[in-house]
Amino acid sequence: MRTKIRVMFKKLKLSVVLSFFLFGCGFLLSGGIANAASCTGTVPDHAEMYFGDDMMLTVDMPFVYSTLNNWDKKCEFTCNAGYIWTGSACVLPAPRCTGTVPQHAEMYFQDDMGLTADTPYTYSSLDNLDKKCEFTCSSGYNWNGYACAALSYSCTGTLPAHAEIYSQDDMMLTVNTPLVYSSLNNWDKKCEFYCSSGYKWNGYACGSPTPTPRCTGTIPQDATMYFGDDMMLTVDMPFVYSTLNNWDKKCEFTCNAGYIWTGSACVLPAPRCTGTVPQHAEMYFQDDMGLTADTPYTYSSLDNLDKKCEFTCSSGYNWNGYACAALSYSCTGTLPAHAEIYSQDNMMLTVDTPLVYSSLNNLDKKCEFYCSSGYNWNGETCVL
Protein backbone atom coordinates (compact mmCIF):
# COMPACT_ATOMS: atom_id res chain seq x y z
CA MET A 1 0.00 0.00 0.00
CA ARG A 2 2.83 2.42 0.92
CA THR A 3 4.63 1.59 -2.33
CA LYS A 4 1.47 2.39 -4.39
CA ILE A 5 1.03 5.75 -2.60
CA ARG A 6 4.75 6.59 -3.20
CA VAL A 7 4.37 5.83 -6.96
CA MET A 8 1.24 8.01 -7.21
CA PHE A 9 3.05 10.92 -5.45
CA LYS A 10 6.00 10.70 -7.88
CA LYS A 11 3.57 10.78 -10.86
CA LEU A 12 1.86 13.87 -9.39
CA LYS A 13 5.22 15.65 -8.96
CA LEU A 14 6.19 14.77 -12.53
CA SER A 15 2.85 16.16 -13.83
CA VAL A 16 3.33 19.47 -11.92
CA VAL A 17 6.93 19.87 -13.12
CA LEU A 18 5.93 19.09 -16.74
CA SER A 19 3.03 21.60 -16.59
CA PHE A 20 5.37 24.33 -15.24
CA PHE A 21 7.95 23.58 -17.94
CA LEU A 22 5.41 23.73 -20.75
CA PHE A 23 3.92 27.00 -19.40
CA GLY A 24 7.37 28.60 -19.09
CA CYS A 25 8.18 27.70 -22.69
CA GLY A 26 5.12 29.55 -23.93
CA PHE A 27 2.55 26.74 -24.05
CA LEU A 28 -0.93 26.46 -22.58
CA LEU A 29 -2.56 23.08 -21.81
CA SER A 30 -5.92 22.96 -23.52
CA GLY A 31 -7.63 19.62 -23.94
CA GLY A 32 -4.25 17.91 -23.46
CA ILE A 33 -2.66 19.79 -26.48
CA ALA A 34 0.00 22.56 -26.03
CA ASN A 35 -0.76 25.79 -28.05
CA ALA A 36 2.12 28.33 -28.73
CA ALA A 37 1.49 32.01 -27.77
CA SER A 38 1.74 34.40 -30.78
CA CYS A 39 1.64 38.04 -31.97
CA THR A 40 -1.93 39.04 -32.80
CA GLY A 41 -3.20 41.37 -35.51
CA THR A 42 -1.23 42.19 -38.69
CA VAL A 43 1.95 44.09 -39.52
CA PRO A 44 0.90 47.13 -41.69
CA ASP A 45 1.97 47.49 -45.31
CA HIS A 46 5.50 48.88 -45.76
CA ALA A 47 6.48 47.72 -42.24
CA GLU A 48 8.40 44.79 -40.77
CA MET A 49 8.59 43.15 -37.35
CA TYR A 50 11.87 43.33 -35.46
CA PHE A 51 13.84 40.04 -35.74
CA GLY A 52 12.87 37.44 -33.13
CA ASP A 53 10.03 39.52 -31.64
CA ASP A 54 7.56 36.65 -32.20
CA MET A 55 9.71 34.09 -30.35
CA MET A 56 9.58 32.86 -26.73
CA LEU A 57 6.18 34.51 -26.06
CA THR A 58 4.44 33.59 -22.82
CA VAL A 59 1.08 35.12 -23.77
CA ASP A 60 -0.57 36.37 -26.95
CA MET A 61 0.48 39.99 -27.61
CA PRO A 62 -0.75 42.52 -30.23
CA PHE A 63 1.59 43.98 -32.87
CA VAL A 64 2.69 47.52 -31.85
CA TYR A 65 4.74 50.21 -33.62
CA SER A 66 8.11 51.24 -32.11
CA THR A 67 11.01 53.34 -33.41
CA LEU A 68 13.40 51.15 -31.39
CA ASN A 69 13.68 47.35 -30.84
CA ASN A 70 13.10 47.24 -27.08
CA TRP A 71 14.77 44.13 -25.62
CA ASP A 72 12.11 43.76 -22.91
CA LYS A 73 9.12 43.95 -25.30
CA LYS A 74 7.71 41.71 -28.04
CA CYS A 75 5.70 41.92 -31.26
CA GLU A 76 7.11 45.35 -32.17
CA PHE A 77 7.43 46.54 -35.76
CA THR A 78 8.87 49.58 -37.56
CA CYS A 79 8.31 51.24 -40.96
CA ASN A 80 10.49 50.25 -43.92
CA ALA A 81 13.26 52.61 -45.04
CA GLY A 82 11.81 55.78 -46.60
CA TYR A 83 8.42 55.47 -44.85
CA ILE A 84 7.10 57.24 -41.74
CA TRP A 85 4.48 56.27 -39.15
CA THR A 86 1.26 58.32 -39.17
CA GLY A 87 -0.24 56.64 -36.11
CA SER A 88 -2.15 54.13 -38.19
CA ALA A 89 -0.03 53.34 -41.26
CA CYS A 90 3.46 53.57 -42.81
CA VAL A 91 3.38 56.17 -45.62
CA LEU A 92 5.87 58.03 -47.77
CA PRO A 93 6.70 61.43 -46.18
CA ALA A 94 5.14 64.59 -47.65
CA PRO A 95 7.36 66.50 -50.12
CA ARG A 96 9.45 69.27 -48.55
CA CYS A 97 11.97 71.99 -49.31
CA THR A 98 15.49 70.54 -49.15
CA GLY A 99 18.73 72.20 -48.11
CA THR A 100 18.80 75.34 -45.94
CA VAL A 101 17.81 78.98 -46.32
CA PRO A 102 21.06 81.02 -46.16
CA GLN A 103 21.78 83.45 -43.34
CA HIS A 104 20.17 86.90 -43.83
CA ALA A 105 17.59 85.42 -46.23
CA GLU A 106 13.87 84.71 -46.03
CA MET A 107 11.70 82.18 -47.88
CA TYR A 108 8.73 83.67 -49.74
CA PHE A 109 5.40 83.26 -47.88
CA GLN A 110 3.93 79.72 -48.15
CA ASP A 111 6.60 78.61 -50.66
CA ASP A 112 6.94 75.36 -48.67
CA MET A 113 3.24 74.47 -49.01
CA GLY A 114 1.47 72.45 -51.74
CA LEU A 115 4.66 70.68 -52.90
CA THR A 116 4.37 67.70 -55.23
CA ALA A 117 8.02 66.62 -54.88
CA ASP A 118 11.08 67.42 -52.75
CA THR A 119 12.38 70.78 -54.03
CA PRO A 120 15.73 72.46 -53.24
CA TYR A 121 15.84 76.00 -51.87
CA THR A 122 16.79 78.48 -54.63
CA TYR A 123 17.37 82.24 -54.70
CA SER A 124 14.98 84.45 -56.65
CA SER A 125 14.60 88.23 -56.69
CA LEU A 126 10.87 87.72 -57.40
CA ASP A 127 8.23 85.43 -55.86
CA ASN A 128 7.37 83.27 -58.90
CA LEU A 129 3.83 81.92 -58.50
CA ASP A 130 4.66 78.75 -60.50
CA LYS A 131 7.73 77.86 -58.40
CA LYS A 132 8.32 76.71 -54.82
CA CYS A 133 11.03 76.89 -52.11
CA GLU A 134 12.35 80.25 -53.34
CA PHE A 135 14.02 82.74 -51.00
CA THR A 136 15.26 86.31 -51.20
CA CYS A 137 17.78 88.31 -49.20
CA SER A 138 16.62 90.28 -46.16
CA SER A 139 16.51 94.08 -46.24
CA GLY A 140 20.03 95.52 -46.30
CA TYR A 141 21.52 92.41 -47.97
CA ASN A 142 22.15 91.45 -51.59
CA TRP A 143 22.69 88.12 -53.37
CA ASN A 144 26.28 87.65 -54.61
CA GLY A 145 25.69 84.29 -56.29
CA TYR A 146 26.16 82.09 -53.24
CA ALA A 147 25.23 84.12 -50.12
CA CYS A 148 23.34 87.20 -48.89
CA ALA A 149 26.05 89.82 -48.24
CA ALA A 150 25.61 93.16 -46.46
CA LEU A 151 25.24 96.08 -48.86
CA SER A 152 27.91 98.79 -48.91
CA TYR A 153 26.97 102.34 -49.93
CA SER A 154 28.86 105.36 -51.24
CA CYS A 155 28.49 108.89 -52.53
CA THR A 156 27.60 108.72 -56.23
CA GLY A 157 28.54 111.09 -59.01
CA THR A 158 31.76 113.09 -59.49
CA LEU A 159 33.13 115.71 -57.11
CA PRO A 160 33.62 118.91 -59.18
CA ALA A 161 37.04 120.50 -59.58
CA HIS A 162 37.96 122.91 -56.79
CA ALA A 163 35.38 121.33 -54.45
CA GLU A 164 35.71 119.41 -51.17
CA ILE A 165 33.33 117.05 -49.39
CA TYR A 166 32.39 117.96 -45.84
CA SER A 167 34.25 115.96 -43.18
CA GLN A 168 32.78 112.42 -42.73
CA ASP A 169 29.91 113.13 -45.12
CA ASP A 170 30.85 109.96 -47.05
CA MET A 171 30.79 107.72 -43.95
CA MET A 172 28.01 105.62 -42.32
CA LEU A 173 25.73 105.80 -45.38
CA THR A 174 22.53 103.71 -45.40
CA VAL A 175 21.86 104.13 -49.15
CA ASN A 176 23.82 105.25 -52.19
CA THR A 177 23.62 109.07 -52.07
CA PRO A 178 24.37 111.57 -54.85
CA LEU A 179 26.96 114.28 -54.28
CA VAL A 180 25.27 117.66 -53.88
CA TYR A 181 26.55 121.18 -53.27
CA SER A 182 25.66 122.92 -50.01
CA SER A 183 26.90 126.18 -48.57
CA LEU A 184 26.30 124.68 -45.11
CA ASN A 185 27.23 121.30 -43.61
CA ASN A 186 23.77 119.97 -42.73
CA TRP A 187 24.12 117.43 -39.88
CA ASP A 188 21.12 115.38 -41.12
CA LYS A 189 22.40 115.01 -44.72
CA LYS A 190 25.26 113.18 -46.41
CA CYS A 191 27.55 113.56 -49.46
CA GLU A 192 27.43 117.36 -49.41
CA PHE A 193 30.37 119.36 -50.76
CA TYR A 194 31.51 122.98 -50.82
CA CYS A 195 33.81 125.02 -53.03
CA SER A 196 37.44 125.38 -52.03
CA SER A 197 38.74 128.73 -50.75
CA GLY A 198 38.76 131.34 -53.56
CA TYR A 199 36.02 129.59 -55.56
CA LYS A 200 32.25 129.98 -55.62
CA TRP A 201 29.41 127.75 -56.76
CA ASN A 202 27.74 128.94 -59.97
CA GLY A 203 25.02 126.30 -60.05
CA TYR A 204 27.01 123.58 -61.78
CA ALA A 205 30.71 124.13 -60.91
CA CYS A 206 33.07 125.86 -58.50
CA GLY A 207 34.30 128.84 -60.51
CA SER A 208 35.68 132.34 -60.00
CA PRO A 209 33.30 134.75 -58.17
CA THR A 210 30.73 136.51 -60.35
CA PRO A 211 29.86 140.16 -59.65
CA THR A 212 26.06 139.73 -59.48
CA PRO A 213 24.77 136.27 -58.51
CA ARG A 214 21.25 135.57 -59.82
CA CYS A 215 18.62 132.92 -60.50
CA THR A 216 19.17 131.50 -63.98
CA GLY A 217 16.64 130.14 -66.45
CA THR A 218 12.92 130.98 -66.45
CA ILE A 219 9.98 130.24 -64.17
CA PRO A 220 7.44 128.00 -66.01
CA GLN A 221 3.94 129.21 -66.88
CA ASP A 222 1.37 128.92 -64.04
CA ALA A 223 4.20 128.84 -61.43
CA THR A 224 5.46 131.30 -58.81
CA MET A 225 8.88 131.70 -57.16
CA TYR A 226 8.91 131.59 -53.37
CA PHE A 227 9.18 135.09 -51.85
CA GLY A 228 12.77 136.30 -51.40
CA ASP A 229 14.33 133.26 -53.10
CA ASP A 230 16.27 135.53 -55.52
CA MET A 231 17.83 137.63 -52.75
CA MET A 232 21.25 137.32 -51.01
CA LEU A 233 22.59 134.85 -53.59
CA THR A 234 26.31 134.01 -53.39
CA VAL A 235 26.44 132.28 -56.79
CA ASP A 236 24.24 131.98 -59.86
CA MET A 237 21.64 129.27 -59.28
CA PRO A 238 19.06 127.75 -61.64
CA PHE A 239 15.35 127.89 -60.96
CA VAL A 240 14.19 124.57 -59.49
CA TYR A 241 10.76 123.19 -58.60
CA SER A 242 10.01 122.42 -54.93
CA THR A 243 6.82 121.55 -53.06
CA LEU A 244 8.24 123.34 -49.99
CA ASN A 245 10.10 126.63 -49.47
CA ASN A 246 13.40 125.29 -48.10
CA TRP A 247 15.05 127.96 -45.97
CA ASP A 248 18.58 126.80 -46.94
CA LYS A 249 17.93 126.88 -50.71
CA LYS A 250 17.32 129.60 -53.30
CA CYS A 251 15.57 130.13 -56.64
CA GLU A 252 12.80 127.63 -55.87
CA PHE A 253 9.32 127.85 -57.37
CA THR A 254 6.02 126.00 -57.00
CA CYS A 255 2.94 125.51 -59.17
CA ASN A 256 -0.03 127.85 -58.72
CA ALA A 257 -3.12 126.60 -56.86
CA GLY A 258 -4.96 123.90 -58.81
CA TYR A 259 -1.92 122.95 -60.93
CA ILE A 260 0.50 120.02 -60.56
CA TRP A 261 4.13 119.53 -61.58
CA THR A 262 4.75 117.02 -64.38
CA GLY A 263 8.55 117.24 -64.17
CA SER A 264 8.76 119.89 -66.87
CA ALA A 265 5.62 122.07 -66.56
CA CYS A 266 2.72 123.07 -64.29
CA VAL A 267 -0.55 121.70 -65.71
CA LEU A 268 -4.12 121.11 -64.60
CA PRO A 269 -4.44 117.53 -63.24
CA ALA A 270 -6.17 114.93 -65.45
CA PRO A 271 -9.43 113.41 -64.16
CA ARG A 272 -8.76 110.32 -62.03
CA CYS A 273 -10.35 107.54 -60.02
CA THR A 274 -10.81 108.69 -56.42
CA GLY A 275 -10.65 106.68 -53.21
CA THR A 276 -8.78 103.38 -52.99
CA VAL A 277 -9.19 99.88 -54.43
CA PRO A 278 -9.84 97.55 -51.44
CA GLN A 279 -7.38 94.87 -50.43
CA HIS A 280 -7.67 91.63 -52.48
CA ALA A 281 -9.43 93.53 -55.30
CA GLU A 282 -8.44 94.55 -58.83
CA MET A 283 -9.61 97.40 -61.04
CA TYR A 284 -10.91 96.34 -64.45
CA PHE A 285 -8.36 96.82 -67.26
CA GLN A 286 -8.03 100.49 -68.40
CA ASP A 287 -10.97 101.61 -66.23
CA ASP A 288 -8.85 104.61 -65.12
CA MET A 289 -8.29 105.81 -68.71
CA GLY A 290 -10.36 108.23 -70.81
CA LEU A 291 -12.02 109.85 -67.76
CA THR A 292 -13.91 113.11 -68.24
CA ALA A 293 -14.27 113.82 -64.51
CA ASP A 294 -13.01 112.53 -61.18
CA THR A 295 -14.84 109.22 -60.51
CA PRO A 296 -14.98 107.19 -57.25
CA TYR A 297 -13.96 103.52 -57.20
CA THR A 298 -17.02 101.21 -57.09
CA TYR A 299 -17.46 97.43 -56.91
CA SER A 300 -19.00 95.60 -59.86
CA SER A 301 -19.22 91.88 -60.63
CA LEU A 302 -19.10 92.78 -64.36
CA ASP A 303 -16.91 95.18 -66.37
CA ASN A 304 -19.52 97.64 -67.62
CA LEU A 305 -18.27 99.26 -70.84
CA ASP A 306 -20.14 102.53 -70.15
CA LYS A 307 -18.68 102.96 -66.65
CA LYS A 308 -15.25 103.71 -65.21
CA CYS A 309 -13.23 103.06 -62.05
CA GLU A 310 -14.95 99.74 -61.35
CA PHE A 311 -13.20 96.92 -59.50
CA THR A 312 -13.87 93.27 -58.70
CA CYS A 313 -12.53 90.87 -56.06
CA SER A 314 -9.40 88.83 -56.79
CA SER A 315 -9.59 85.08 -57.33
CA GLY A 316 -10.42 83.28 -54.07
CA TYR A 317 -12.23 86.31 -52.60
CA ASN A 318 -15.87 87.45 -52.60
CA TRP A 319 -17.57 90.83 -52.07
CA ASN A 320 -19.48 91.04 -48.78
CA GLY A 321 -20.84 94.54 -49.30
CA TYR A 322 -17.87 96.47 -48.01
CA ALA A 323 -14.74 94.34 -48.53
CA CYS A 324 -13.31 91.37 -50.44
CA ALA A 325 -13.32 88.45 -47.98
CA ALA A 326 -11.43 85.17 -48.45
CA LEU A 327 -13.48 82.15 -49.50
CA SER A 328 -13.36 79.16 -47.14
CA TYR A 329 -13.77 75.52 -48.22
CA SER A 330 -14.64 72.34 -46.31
CA CYS A 331 -15.29 68.60 -46.59
CA THR A 332 -18.96 68.09 -47.50
CA GLY A 333 -21.28 65.30 -46.44
CA THR A 334 -21.46 63.40 -43.13
CA LEU A 335 -18.66 61.30 -41.63
CA PRO A 336 -20.12 57.80 -40.94
CA ALA A 337 -20.20 56.41 -37.42
CA HIS A 338 -17.02 54.57 -36.39
CA ALA A 339 -15.02 56.35 -39.12
CA GLU A 340 -12.10 58.78 -38.93
CA ILE A 341 -10.80 61.32 -41.45
CA TYR A 342 -7.14 60.94 -42.41
CA SER A 343 -4.80 63.41 -40.66
CA GLN A 344 -4.96 66.93 -42.24
CA ASP A 345 -7.24 65.73 -45.08
CA ASN A 346 -9.66 68.56 -44.21
CA MET A 347 -6.97 71.28 -44.36
CA MET A 348 -5.71 73.52 -47.21
CA LEU A 349 -8.74 72.81 -49.42
CA THR A 350 -9.09 74.81 -52.64
CA VAL A 351 -12.73 73.77 -53.29
CA ASP A 352 -15.56 72.16 -51.30
CA THR A 353 -14.78 68.41 -51.45
CA PRO A 354 -17.12 65.45 -50.62
CA LEU A 355 -16.12 62.95 -47.93
CA VAL A 356 -15.13 59.58 -49.45
CA TYR A 357 -13.95 56.23 -48.03
CA SER A 358 -10.42 55.06 -48.85
CA SER A 359 -8.40 52.17 -47.43
CA LEU A 360 -5.23 54.21 -48.05
CA ASN A 361 -4.39 57.88 -47.39
CA ASN A 362 -3.76 59.16 -50.93
CA LEU A 363 -1.41 62.15 -50.70
CA ASP A 364 -2.93 63.83 -53.79
CA LYS A 365 -6.53 63.65 -52.50
CA LYS A 366 -8.51 65.29 -49.71
CA CYS A 367 -11.47 64.49 -47.42
CA GLU A 368 -10.77 60.74 -47.36
CA PHE A 369 -11.77 58.67 -44.30
CA TYR A 370 -11.21 55.14 -43.00
CA CYS A 371 -13.01 52.86 -40.52
CA SER A 372 -11.90 52.92 -36.88
CA SER A 373 -9.95 49.97 -35.50
CA GLY A 374 -12.13 46.87 -35.37
CA TYR A 375 -14.57 48.14 -38.03
CA ASN A 376 -14.76 47.38 -41.76
CA TRP A 377 -16.32 49.20 -44.71
CA ASN A 378 -19.27 47.39 -46.26
CA GLY A 379 -19.72 49.85 -49.09
CA GLU A 380 -22.06 52.13 -47.16
CA THR A 381 -20.84 52.35 -43.55
CA CYS A 382 -18.31 51.01 -41.02
CA VAL A 383 -19.47 47.80 -39.34
CA LEU A 384 -17.95 45.26 -36.96
Residues 6+ apart with CB under 8 A from 27: 34, 35, 36, 37
**Per-residue model confidence (pLDDT) at position 140:** 83
**Per-residue model confidence (pLDDT) at position 113:** 92
- Highest averaged pLDDT of the listed ranges 105-109, 269-273, 350-354: 105-109
Question: Mean pLDDT, to the nearest integer, of 210-224?
Answer: 88
Which has the closest alpha carbon to 38: 22, 24, 23, 27? 27
Q: To 10 degrees, the CA torsion angle through 115, 121, 122, 125? A: 80
**Per-residue model confidence (pLDDT) at position 150:** 84
Asked whether the beta carbons of 15 and 23 are under 8 A apart, the reply is no
Measured CA to CA, the distance from residue 222 to residue 229 in angstroms comes to 18
Asked whether the beta carbons of 119 and 95 are under 8 A apart, the reply is yes
Please tell me the pTM assigned to this model. Answer: 0.30
**Per-residue model confidence (pLDDT) at position 151:** 81
Confidence of residue 209 (pLDDT cuts 50, 70, 90): low
Phi, psi at 355, each rounded to 5°: -70, 140
Confidence of residue 211 (pLDDT cuts 50, 70, 90): low
Least confident window among 2-16, 84-98, 177-191: 2-16
Domain residue extents for the chain: 2-91, 97-150, 273-326, 328-384
pLDDT at residue 22 tops 80: no
Question: Which of 208 and 34 is assigned the larger pLDDT?
Answer: 208
Question: Mean pLDDT, to the nearest integer, of 339-358?
Answer: 92
Asked whether the beta carbons of 78 and 50 are under 8 A apart, the reply is yes
**Per-residue model confidence (pLDDT) at position 224:** 97
For 183, half-sphere exposure in the C-beta direction (CA atoms, 13 angstrom radius) is 15
Residues 6+ apart with CB under 8 A from 37: 26, 27, 28, 57, 58, 59, 60, 61
Give the mean pLDDT of the chain. 88
**Per-residue model confidence (pLDDT) at position 9:** 41
pLDDT at residue 213 tops 90: no
**Per-residue model confidence (pLDDT) at position 39:** 96
Measured CA to CA, the distance from residue 315 to residue 351 in angstroms comes to 12
Percent residues over pLDDT 70 in the chain: 90
